[in-house]
Structure 1
Amino acid sequence: MKILPCLSIWILAQCAYTLAETTDTTEGTDTTSTTTTTTSDTTSGYIVVTSETSVAVPTGDYITYTTTEIVSSTELNATATSNATTSTTATDVVLVGTGSSSNSTATSSSTSATNTQACNGYTEFCERKYSNITMVTAHNSPFVKKNSVAANQDYKVTQQLNDGIRMVSFEAHYYEDDIYLCHTSCELLNMGTLEAYLTTVTKWIKKNPYDVVTILIVNSDYVSPSNFSAPIQNSGLVDYAYEPWKIPMSLDDWPTLSDMILTGKRAVIFMDYEADQAEYPYLLDEFSQMWETPFSPLNRSFPCTVQRPTGISTTQANNRMYMANHNLNLEIVFDDIDILIPDSAQINVTNAVSGYGSLGVMANNCRSDWDRPPNFLLVDYYNDGNFAGSVFEVAADMNNVTYSGDCCGTSSDAVKVNSIITLSLTIAVLTTLLSYLV
């Protein structure tokens, strides 16, 4: 009889690892009280608790700059006045850099040349500032694994970039004297080293010379940024890394995509906590230059309010880029275990162009609230929606361009379907075992 309690405890521990979707809670969290609604699913026998607020919010130390630092006046002048033109003899395309700061549909202001080369997939983007484009972000990009509820995407990063993803985000953990990409814990889901992942990203960047890619590193263990320099350098990404001319960069300080492409600095690398731009100028502090809407949302209304960094004014928010977190989570409460997993069952609505809880509605609400669209739309399973590529349709609408509709990879629902089955079976086993203890 003593075996059952021990077995139950072991399975509960494994369940916590296997089912966990508390993506960034290892960063350090401030658990808050929430108003919850509890329902019982008589089919599976487990309790589902939904909430109108996030269960936990990462509470790392945010960097606050009281003054700005001009790093390079030379780059400032080049960014502000660039009107360079380049052409490739192989395809006879022309790329024009103008330094335009338009907040709407960009048009060429050059009389000497007309741009014929797309930047990030659209010719209209070439003359727009980096901070004036809405990009789709693959939340937890590396976490692709069948039959794991810790997965967030169906396709690996090369396919993500091929399909139109232009920002990738991921958790990074200090593990076995290196930086690994692990979901919550390296015992739960370990997708290998940061260096290996960045090497793959760099290969794609090298093969696609007219694209600007953004990387958002979640420094889950709050380790020194020095731990990230070797992976960035060894992968070759440092050769493409953009180094701002000013710390921090305000909304209007960013260069145009064509300027970044012409200089070859086409990878923007952000880190959420512990960045030191003075020491590592290519590793940008996220929250002094970008804010985010509520983290790990459970609320299907997806409010477009500032959650991180805390305490910034409306004026400050208006002067920074922002990311709309639109990855809906499901909270599971069983006994004393409280975990979050991606709400895959509603992904076709969550990633849809329209309808309550959709990405399209949130993006439009954000545009209305802040008089400008989000810079980044963070989503799970980007390839799913009310149609393949619906998230890119939303981004195109925010950018006032026409989406080509060419998406996405090879169709597969195995990850999500099997994850839901695995979840139900695990809960059922726990219920049976725990009944012996009552």
Structure 2
Amino acid sequence: MLPTSLWLLCLSVLGARAQSTGVTYTGTFSTLSAVPTSDFTGSQYIYITPTGQSTVSTASSLIEVSGTSSATGSASNSEANNATASSTSTSYSQITRSQTTQSVLNIAGTASSTSSNGTATASSTLSAALPVNTLPCNGYPEFCNRRYSNITEVCAHNSAFVVKNNAASNQALPIMDQLDDGIRMLQGETHLVNNTVYNCHSSCSLLNAGTWQSMLETLVSWLQRNPYDVVTILIVNSDYVDVGNYTAPIVNSGLMEYVYEPAFVPQRRDQWPTLGEMILSGKRVVVFMDYQADQATVPYILDEFTHIWETPFSPTNQSFPCTQERPPNLDPKVASNDYMYLANHNLNTAIDIGSLTGGSSDEPLLIPNYAELNVSNGGLNTYGQLEAMRLNCTDDWPRPPTFLLVDYYDEGIPSAGSVFEVAARANGVTYNKRCCGLGPQSAAPALRSSYAALAVAMVFAGMVAW
């Protein structure tokens, strides 16, 4: 039999107002006292803990509730023994979303409840297990009532650049693994070749990781299996082409169904919806573009630099200063109050192509500093580590970074903690997973020493000259 407190939670939601048959309820509630007394329409998701406690803010399951009610009543707060209700009788069903990570739970039946002077009783004809293995809102129930702009997420720099033994690669694990591990911003350099957008580094002749649309198709497949997550895409428009070139891949991949369109242009930091609101609406993919975005023409591809500022780009300085670099000349007060910000924490090594090939080059080639990956992605407050930059940025600005951009996110020293642990500390939550990079998996086995990295860089530079 379901616990009394669970029945009271469901009855309090369903019995908030007398309804006619065929009513489907909607709304989000942090406590029972937040239940409005107006009529509801649409789909309703409420939180219930595995133990059946009625404190919904610490829930681990999303339940879709629909049914009929001939009840009246109210609840003063989320504690069962404080509930006040007059004779409640409800018929309803509860259905969890079907996923590969959870079982479908169907409950149907009747329940009745009365209370007087703070003493509640309930009876039921049902007995069923509570749903498990569903953590809403990017893995943390605490995020459901937080604004999108008030959460720190890990960004995989050049997410699609997973080409084995290529010095221009930035990640070791493919997009699907990145998302499964907790990456919530996909970012990458793109180029337009023969009217098709590709994921390419510097030039498609040097590193071509496939079409941008194929990456989006992978994301759509993941979104279909993970209905409680919000993901961000940051497009690096390297050729400065018209934003219209990016609309067809979004539509053709099926991503358009999920793309979020802001209510304001630009949308200030305190105007963003909560993750819970985005998930309930189904619009849970935010798309930014660094250059050539035009929200008057394509409102769902947001101009990055009217919403996000960045620390120094492609850093080679291991101290990782948290100074504002892009967009240039941004008023610090505006940056602090109105913008989110991205911390570039991908340490690079500058290679002089000209000296290696006997020619000349105006611009050095920047490749990931493989020898320092364990330091860069570390979770200790030590020089060069991600945690040190997080703390430095939080001291310099009134909040931690919104996005932490890293190379080879799966690399790190187990004792130092992973990049995801750094993000969790920024968010005030506890990271309870085991990051993929702490086992035998290596981000770039052939490039673990600076000598090997230099050798590959020389080959890469020769390709450039050729």
Relative to the length of structure 2, the TM-score reads: 0.67
Tell me the secondary structure at the aligned position of residue 246 of structure 1: coil
**Cα distance in 2, alignment partners of residues 200 and 358 from structure 1:** 31
Q: Which has the higher contact order (CA 8 A, sep 6+)?
A: 1
Q: Is the 8 A contact 2:309 2:341 kept in 1?
A: yes
Gaps (5+ residues) in structure 2? 1-27, 29-33, 37-42, 51-59, 65-75, 81-133
Alignment map for 1:382-421 (pairs within 5 Å)? 382-387=409-414, 390-408=418-436, 411-413=440-442, 415=444, 417-418=446-447, 421=452
Deviation at 1:137, TM superposition (A): 0.2
Deviation at 1:415, TM superposition (A): 2.6
Deviation at 1:281, TM superposition (A): 1.3
Specify whether residues 95 and 122 from structure 1 end up closer, same or farther in structure 2 by C-alpha distance, changes over 3 A only. farther
**Cα distance in 1, alignment partners of residues 79 and 302 from structure 2:** 35
**Cα distance in 2, alignment partners of residues 197 and 82 from structure 1:** 41
Matched to 1:325, the amino acid is: N
392, 399, 424: which is aligned to 1:365?
392
Gaps (5+ residues) in structure 1? 1-77, 97-108, 432-438
Q: Give CA-to-partner distance per residue, 1:321-360, whole Å, 9 cap, x none.
A: 0000000001122523422110010000001012101100
Q: Is the 8 A contact 1:352 1:358 kept in 2?
A: yes
How many residues of Structure 1 are paired with residues of Structure 2 in the alignment?
338
Matched, 1:93 2:61: yes
**Cα distance in 2, alignment partners of residues 110 and 339 from structure 1:** 61
Matched, 1:248 2:266: yes
Matched to 2:371, the amino acid is: A
Matched to 1:345, the amino acid is: A
Matched to 1:273, the amino acid is: Y
Matched to 2:383, the amino acid is: Y
Deviation at 1:418, TM superposition (A): 3.9
Tell me the secondary structure at the aligned position of residue 246 of structure 2: helix
Q: Is the 8 A contact 2:167 2:460 kept in 1?
A: no
Specify whether residues 132 and 112 from structure 1 end up closer, same or farther in structure 2 by C-alpha distance, changes over 3 A only. farther
Alignment map for 1:18-37 (pairs within 5 Å)? none
Specify whether residues 322 and 275 from structure 1 end up closer, same or farther in structure 2 by C-alpha distance, changes over 3 A only. same
336, 345, 356: which is aligned to 1:326?
345
Matched, 1:179 2:197: yes
Q: Give CA-to-partner distance per residue, 1:394-434, whole Å, 9 cap, x none.
A: 00000000001322177433635348626326749999xxx
Matched to 2:413, the amino acid is: N
What's 2:165 paired with?
Answer: 147
Deviation at 1:117, TM superposition (A): 4.5
**Cα distance in 2, alignment partners of residues 184 and 428 from structure 1:** 16
Matched residues, percent identical?
52
Matched, 1:206 2:241: no
Matched, 1:423 2:458: no
Matched to 1:250, the amino acid is: R
Alignment map for 1:213-228 (pairs within 5 Å)? 213-228=231-246
Specify whether residues 428 and 136 from structure 1 end up closer, same or farther in structure 2 by C-alpha distance, changes over 3 A only. closer
Q: CA RMSD in A?
A: 3.0
**Cα distance in 1, alignment partners of residues 261 and 367 from structure 2:** 36
Deviation at 1:225, TM superposition (A): 0.6
Deviation at 1:250, TM superposition (A): 0.6
Relative to the length of structure 1, the TM-score reads: 0.72
